[in-house]
Amino acid sequence: MTQDYLALVSDLQNQLKILQTAISSQKESAPAIAKDWLRSHREIQIFFQSSLVNTDLEITPQDLSLQVEIDKQLKMLGVDLTMLQTSRSPATWQKRYQQACDRFFLLDSYFQMHYGDLHKI
């Protein structure tokens, strides 16, 4: 695994942390804000696909396996954020909000287990 690849992974992790912080600070139903979150999520997903998945950098089978899991969780996060944006009841908002927060925790655990502390790069 190259330093270039690790730098890209670190950048992805930072982008996810920024979105996670924005979401975790808004505990009340706010569909208009969820639209901004969804836009940020799409940008993260585009970065992930263009920089990490479709890369000429050499990656290990473990990295490839992790990419599949991250891709799946990013897609599911997109569904959660879409549902947040369209939710009408506070109960639905809270359920999807919690699912999104749990997904961020899971994504972070993937990074920690596989790459450790990337901020030392």
Phi-psi region of 116 (alpha: psi -120 to 50; beta: other; left: phi over 0): left
Q: What pLDDT, on the 0 to 100 scale, is given for residue 100?
A: 92
Domain CATH number, residue 83: 1.20.120
State yes or no: pLDDT of 90 exceeds 70. Answer: yes
Helices (H), the chain: 3-24, 31-47, 61-86, 90-115
Task: List Cβ neighbours of 111 (8 Å cut-off, separation of 6 or more).
Answer: 9, 13, 118
Structural domain harbouring 87: 3-120
Report the pLDDT value the prediction gives residue 28, as an integer from 0 to 100. 76
Q: Report whether pLDDT(120) > 80.
A: no
pLDDT in tens, 49-84: 999 888 787 888 888 899 999 999 999 999 999 988
pTM of the model: 0.86
Residue 25 DSSP symbol: T
Q: How many domains does the chain have?
A: 1
